[in-house]
Each structure stands twice: as structure tokens, then as C-alpha cells.
Structure 1
Amino acid sequence: MATTDFDIIIIGGGPGGYVAAIRAAQLKLSVCVVESTHLGGICLNWGCIPTKALLRSAEINHLLHNLGEFGFSADNIRFDLDKVVKRSRAISKQLASGVGFLLKKNKVPVFDGRGKLAGTDGDKRRVEVTKDGKAVATLTGKHVILATGARARVLPGLEPDGKLIWSYREAMVPAAMPKRLLVIGSGAIGIEFASFYRNMGAEVTVAEVVDRILPVEDEEIATFARTQFEKQGIRILTGAKIGTPQKLADSVSITIEAKGKSETLEFDRIISAVGIVGNVEDIGLEGTKVEVEKTHVKIDHFCRTGEPGVYAIGDLAGAPWLAHKASHEGVLCVEKIAGMDVHGIDWTNIPGCTYCRPQVASVGWTEAKAKAEGREIRVGRFPFIGNGKAITMGEPDGMVKTVFDAKTGGLLGAHMVGAEVTELIQGYVIARTLESTEQELMHTVFPHPTVSETMHEAVLDAWGQAIHF
């Protein structure tokens, strides 16, 4: 008979849940995972991983159409969309299967079904597991970690229909390349899809309700990115009021008002990318002290909810909605349960990455946030055009921006736009984690020639010492 009593029960097998389970197993805690759909969660199956595979294909398509810059030529360049999509899905399947292997390797049992808090048995929590509406197991555990994730927000009138109006799922498996595409929403998800489809040849329009794109990013970086997107031919409408789409035979007509001008436009497809909502329904929160705010579970810096023995991690627990944040919370949560001396999570040290072209990455406070907090600041900037490696790569369009506390020299924030900045941002994340000042960063030797030298120069510039600009 399968074991049904554990130290920790984890509901959800995404990048928060499965990582928490593996760490618990390493600490010799008995642990299980309850997952109803697919191990790896949205990230591995319908998010981070498959979209990056698509974006890699789009990057190659862009390079193939710009071979002349590097001394090459090619005729009849074309792509097979079916193969592009199949490659993305195969990579996703490979990595999701790997999660199952890792859990098995660490002897973590996985219960196939939906988990729901169902009261207590003495000092233990009870979790009911159902599949297709039928009870399949009753589990008990001292601790329950909720990792049920989130789903796409749906606006009235913009409900995905699988044909003309797409959610992220349909956008990742297109049967044909739309000629005219509207993306509603300019956060990371919307901009990545806009970048993919534009670099694959579609005419792309982005409509954003607020007055700028990439709303969570530093405004200067977002403005720079917008200029680059528009150079690529993406039309961007900010401060937009979006009407109800009118579905035609194989297209959609929609009225958009921006800057006082109203237009009725026709698109082959619409992608709705207007945020996410937490999966808080039907997980047994009723009658508990777990607090929900704007569809997300409220937690403290150790991922504890208001209900003793119940924790929440990942997208369910709110922004930033990032896989690496979920994984970090999972590890921290389990280590706290195990009695280890751990630091509570500082969400300002979680890097944000958007894999458009050019890429955008950031950590910490924006310049506006630092000013709003009343800090006296020093700001440094360095453009990619001053970096030898960026120029040799054919990627001179980019910049790095640093924000320091003028009195202490502490790094308040770092913001980047350009080639491979999602790989570079970790340098600043480490600096913030170690509470480094400008002196440590100035005295760090950066290798030459690398794009990372722009990071050094942006620090130097904050103190008027930039060398190459």
C-alpha cells in the first residue's frame, strides 16, 4: 500500500513544487507531490522553455535575412513553421520528462490528481486527491506547500477561442503564420510573442493600456527598447483603449483608440497577454486563515501563510511571476521547515528577464522607485556602441544602467537592454545579494573583449569615471 503520511505535501509540480520536493528529499524529509496535469508546470510545458525555443528560431531567421552584414549570402531563405513548432514541443517534452526522472531518482512519490486542503487530523494537515471528480487518495502531513501556479487573465470580449483570438497556448502552436497580428499587452509575455512573430515575418501591432511598454521596467530602458522594436517594424500603441473585437470569417476587426485617434483595424489573429491570475480556486482555502489578495495568496518572507502549517510559493504567491523566483521560494520554504538558519526572501533581488530582441533584464529598484523612496542617487549608463565585443557581434544597440545610493555606494538597481543581457544580469544579482558597493564593482576585473565590460563601465559612469564613453 502506498505511503500516505508525509512530513511535507506539495500541491503542484511546477518549478516551485518539484524543486521544493527534491530539496526536501535531500534533507531526509518524507515528501510527496500532487500534480493534476503535467510535471514541470506551465514553465516547462507552455511557458519559459517552449517560448525560448521559438525565439531561438526567430533569432536564426533574423540572422539569415541579414547575412550580408557578415559577408555571406544565401538564396531562397524560408522556414518550415511545422518543424519550428515541433522542435519547441520536443524540447518541452524532453525537459518535462526529466522532472519525472529527478523526482523518481530522489524517491519522491507523485500523486496524479488535484490536491485540496481538507482539514486536520490532530497536528497534521489532510489533503484530498481527486482525479476526474473521483477521490483517489487521502494524504496527511505536518506541512502543506501550495504551488498551484497561475493562469492567463481573460478580459470580457477577448476570451480565447482557439482560432481567431489566442492565449499563450495557441500562440505557441500556430498552424500557419498570421500576416497581421495584434498583441494586447506589452509585459514580458506580450513583447516576447511580438518579437517572435515580427522576426518570423508577420506585421505586428502591440496595444498597451498604460502609457508605455514593459511597465515594470525602468522607464529609460523601456523607451530604448520601444525605439528598437519600432525600428524592426513593430507598431506600438500605448495609452490604448481597446474595443470589442468583431469576428469575421478568418480575421478580426477591432477598434483601438490611442492619443485621441480612433482606428478600426483588421488582423488575422489577436494574442491576449494581459497578465495572470492565481489558481486559488478549489484548493480548500475556505475556512482557513489563508489570505487571498487580488487572486494571490499572501505570504511572509519565509513563504508562510496565515494558516499554521500551510505555505505558498511561486505564481500563486504573487509577483514577480517568474520560474526562478518559484524555485528559490520552494528551497527556502523547505529549509525553513527543516529548521535551517535561512534568510527570508528579498523579492527585489529576483532578476527579471524578457527574451525579446533586444533582450531586457533588470534587478532591484528603478530610478523612479529610488527617487520615490527619497534616496540620493547616482546613475550610470553605458551604451553597447562603446563596447568592442557588441560591435563585432553585430549587436551595437543596447545599454546598461545602474542606480546607486550616493551616500552608501550600495547598488539599488541595474537595468539592461541588448544582446544576451539575460545572461549578464546575474552579475548584478550577485552584487546585490552580497551587498556590494561601487568600490567592489569598480575593482572587479572584467574580461576583454566581452559584452560584460558594459556592466563595469556603467558602474564607473555613475561616479564620472567611464573610460570608453
Structure 2
Amino acid sequence: MASDSFDMIVIGAGPGGYVAAIRGAQLGLKVAIVEREHMGGICLNWGCIPTKAMLRSSEVFHLMHRAKEFGLSAEGIGYDLDAVVKRSRAVAKQLNSGVGHLLKKNKVTAYMGEASLPAKGRVSVKTDKGTEELKAKNIVIATGARARELPGLEADGDLVWTYKHALVPPRMPKKLLVIGSGAIGIEFASFYNTLGAETTVVEVMDRILPVEDAEISAFAKKAFTKQKMKIMEKAAVKQLDRGKGKVTAHIETGGKVEKHEFDTVISAVGIVGNTEGLGLEDLGVKVEKTHVVTDPHCRTGVDGVYAIGDIAGAPWLAHKASHEGVMVAELIAGGKPHAVDPDSIAGCTYCHPQIASVGLTEAQAKEKGYKIKVGRFPFIGNGKAIALGEAEGMVKTVFDASTGELLGAHMVGAEVTELIQGYIVGRTLETTEEELMNTVFPHPTLSEMMHESVLDAYGRVIHI
């Protein structure tokens, strides 16, 4: 095989692409990966990882203010935003170089440059040194997505920020407007609010975190309001007037438009797939609403062309992309992998309190015609939660009343992003309420609330 000829070429080295490349190499394929910017993609460099590092700083800051509750003393509590950002960037850099090392270790040939698909089985890469022409029977598109920009609300990096600007802020906002209350918007609102910014969140839907179970959204809203965050639902930012060091936002609620002044705006109104410049349409790859249309196995309908991760549509989550990457590599290597089930992919939001969920919400289960049993358990009934000083939260489980199938699980509170995995494993193993009830959960742990929530759905709860 010629040096520019491969079994599989992956375009994009984010959590979908680099994982696909590594899995392909493990299965004996000759693999190349093309990346135009950063190994690890948005997730490692400008998304999941650096935001968690920043949120950890704000969490510790919040706890320092509560020192007295724990019998401790902390005087003159403050922060250095530049140092918080520096730590976050160092964490991202460490992981970025780790991805490069993993690709090398697995003998994946990496090309840094801009890729396009001039013809079937061909990839052209514009690098610093010129253009490289590569060939492969199988091409995996993993080019990800970027922040959606609404007309008139475009980011300028000074007054109006995208998530990228918010990760390397030119200053600490005093009065902050966050447009959009999905995971990205709420995480940044939580971070800056905890550090003292007067924060307003505007959501066009009738509730914040609209993809979550309604009860969880309501609980989170109450918690955020208690933290002095201002939440505006069924509201839309119609216009931003930019002045010197200030922005006047025209916000419409209930048919009335009011003007509010801020010094910083973060726009978090969704994402747009990176489909441009690849030559997809000419190849016959179908693109709808900036996303590549695929079947459940990420095939595009054009022989030998696959699309994974954000470019292939919702849910826009790194772990979904990675799993699709593994599935596609196994498919290319001749295996028969299961398709990724979107209902078994958890969503995690790392605000304070944390939010995590998997499967159907109570409303979705009813819409689908299920007769359901719902269980709830509050953090206040859990010994470990009280000992941690984290007694605010709840665990909610939704079961099919006739079969005992776990249809969905929804949580809000401390460390729920770690707890949710128990229910995901349960769903993957097709567990029923009986097995969950018969499982012995260790004491004292937060995970006991998961057990109690199941017991509650069947009228057997002990601790409330």
C-alpha cells in the first residue's frame, strides 16, 4: 500500500475522530487522521475539559465561603481570574498532548491541515508545506460543530462572547447576560455568578434546561434563583446595542420589549455543524440544517463515507461521538457492532447544583403511551449528602408500570454526573425494578438515593 494510501481516513481529531482512529488502528487498519486546529478538538481544548477545570475553581471558591459551617476558618477569600484561566488552559494542554501521544503510540498517521473530499475515496489536505493527496476506501467525517451566531447578536470578543471568549475572558464581567440556558449557557452562568457577576439568563422556551425533566428544571431554577441569578423564561433577546463598555439588550417577554444594560453578553444559543468546504454535496452526501444525514450506523448513504459526532446531529455530546467512532471503526474492520442508542446516552451539566439524566422524561414517557411508575428521593434524606453539607437535590426514576423497565432517570444535586452511570449500566443490561431493588448499595453513599428512588416508585421507600 502506498504511503498516501490508507484503509481509513478520519477528518477531525475531536473525541469522535481520534477515538475512531485509535480503534481502527487497534483492529489492524492503516489509519490517517486530519486535524486543522487542535488534537482533541473543541471538547478537550475549548469545551468539556477546560470548563470543568474552571467550574472546579468556582466550586472550591464557593466552599471556602462556607468554611465556618465545617468548623474551619478562611480569611480574606478572593480569586485571581487570570490564574483560574491559566490552570484551565494547562489542563487542556496536558490532555491535548496526550491525544497526540496516543495517536503516535497506535501508529496513526496525523496530518495538520484543512481537508476536503475532491472525489470518492480521496482526501486532499492543505498543510503548511503544500497539499497532500490521500486515498482511502473509508472516510470518516468527524468535523464537529461551532457556536451558532444569531443575526445582530454576533460575538465580538469584547462585549459579546461565545464559549471560547468566556474561557479566556478579557475581564471579569460585573453585569452578565447569558443567552440560552442549555448546558453551555448554564455552566458559564454558574461559573461567573459564583465569582460574583450579577447574572441574568434568558431562555426562549418556557423553562430553563428545556431538554431536562420539567421537575428537575424547576428544582434547578429555584437553586439558581437562591444564588441570586435572574432567570427569564419565554424571553427573547431581539437586539443588542453596543456602546462603550456596555451593551443594551432589548428583551421581549409576554409581548413587551424592555431594555436592560449589561457589560458582558455570552451567547449560547446552540451549535452549527462544520460542513462547509469539504465538498460533501458534490459527493452526494446529504446535509440538512448544517448536519450530515446518517443511518443508525453513521453511514451517509455514499459508499465508504461515514459521519460521527456533532456533525451527525443530536445529542451533541463528546461521549456519543466517541462511541460512534468505535462503532464505525469496528464496522469498517468487518465487525457487526450495535448501533448507538440515543436514549441510553446521558446528559450531564456541571453547574451548581449538577444535573444528570438518561432516557425518557416523565412527560416523554406519557407521550409515548407508557403507563408509568415514578419514584423520587430527596438529598435531605441521605446521610452522606448531609455529612457533605450538600442536602439540596433529588433523584427521580421513571419505570414502565407493566414490565418494570427503567425508562428514565433524572437527578439534580452534588456529584450526580458521577452517579448517573449506575442507571446507564442498568439500562444497557435491560434491568428491571426488581434487580435494582435487590442490589445492595454501600452505606453511607450518595448512590443509596438511587436505590431509594426505585423503592419509592413501588411504594417501598424506607428513609422518607
1:129 counterpart = 2:104: no
| Alignment check: 8 A CA contact 2:175 2:263 kept | yes
Question: Cα RMSD between the aligned structures?
Answer: 1.2
> What is the correspondence of 1:148-227 to structure 2 with a 5 Å cutoff?
148-227=143-222
- Report the equivalent of 1:345: 340
Give deviations 1:360-402, integer Å, cap 9, x for gaps.
0000011111111111111111110100100110101100111
**Runs in 1 of length 4+ with deviation above 3 angstroms?**
259-262
Give deviations 1:274-309, integer Å, cap 9, x for gaps.
000101111111223322121111111211111110
- Report the equivalent of 1:309: 304
| Alignment check: 8 A CA contact 1:414 1:428 kept | yes
1:390 counterpart = 2:388: no
Segments of structure 2 that go 5 or more residues without pairing to the other structure are none
Given residue 105 of structure 2, which amino acid in structure 1 is its aligned partner? K
> What is the correspondence of 1:36-185 to structure 2 with a 5 Å cutoff?
36-120=36-120, 125-131=121-127, 135-185=130-180
| Alignment check: 8 A CA contact 2:155 2:161 kept | yes
1:263 counterpart = 2:263: no
> What is the correspondence of 1:279-428 to structure 2 with a 5 Å cutoff?
279-428=274-423
Q: Say which SS state the counterpart of residue 73 (structure 2) adopts.
A: coil
| Greater mean alpha carbon deviation, residues 162-171 or residues 260-269 | 260-269
TM-superposed CA distance for 1:219, in Å, is 0.7
Give deviations 1:307-330, integer Å, cap 9, x for gaps.
110000000001111111100000
CA distance in 2, matches of 1:445, 1:116: 54
- Report the equivalent of 2:225: 230
Q: Say which SS state the counterpart of residue 97 (structure 1) adopts.
A: helix
Segments of structure 1 that go 5 or more residues without pairing to the other structure are none
- Report the equivalent of 2:429: 434
| Alignment check: 8 A CA contact 2:52 2:350 kept | yes
| Alignment check: 8 A CA contact 2:158 2:170 kept | no
CA distance in 2, matches of 1:12, 1:139: 15
| Alignment check: 8 A CA contact 1:358 1:398 kept | yes
Give deviations 1:337-359, integer Å, cap 9, x for gaps.
11123111111111100000000
Give deviations 1:127-185, integer Å, cap 9, x for gaps.
111136x8521111010000000000000111100100001011111132111100000
TM-superposed CA distance for 1:2, in Å, is 8.1
CA distance in 2, matches of 1:255, 1:111: 46
| Greater mean alpha carbon deviation, residues 4-13 or residues 336-345 | 336-345
Corresponding pairs, count? 464
Percent of aligned pairs with the same residue?
65
| Alignment check: 8 A CA contact 1:246 1:254 kept | yes
TM-superposed CA distance for 1:449, in Å, is 0.3
TM-superposed CA distance for 1:260, in Å, is 4.9
- Report the equivalent of 2:28: 28
| Greater mean alpha carbon deviation, residues 280-289 or residues 97-106 | 280-289
* TM-score under structure 1 length normalisation: 0.97
Q: Say which SS state the counterpart of residue 239 (structure 2) adopts.
A: coil
Q: Say which SS state the counterpart of residue 343 (structure 2) adopts.
A: helix
Given residue 209 of structure 2, which amino acid in structure 1 is its aligned partner? L
CA distance in 2, matches of 1:298, 1:461: 41
| Alignment check: 8 A CA contact 1:128 1:135 kept | no
CA distance in 2, matches of 1:135, 1:288: 24
Q: Say which SS state the counterpart of residue 122 (structure 2) adopts.
A: strand
| Greater mean alpha carbon deviation, residues 406-415 or residues 68-77 | 68-77
CA distance in 2, matches of 1:288, 1:422: 40
1:446 counterpart = 2:441: yes
Give deviations 1:54-84, integer Å, cap 9, x for gaps.
0000001101111111112222111111100
* TM-score under structure 2 length normalisation: 0.98
| Alignment check: 8 A CA contact 1:379 1:403 kept | yes
Q: Say which SS state the counterpart of residue 287 (structure 1) adopts.
A: helix
Structure 1 pair 155–459 and aligned structure 2 pair: CA distance change class (3 A):
same
CA distance in 2, matches of 1:30, 1:372: 47
| Greater mean alpha carbon deviation, residues 304-313 or residues 65-74 | 65-74
Q: Say which SS state the counterpart of residue 117 (structure 2) adopts.
A: strand
- Report the equivalent of 2:19: 19
CA distance in 1, matches of 2:21, 2:319: 15
Q: Say which SS state the counterpart of residue 283 (structure 2) adopts.
A: coil
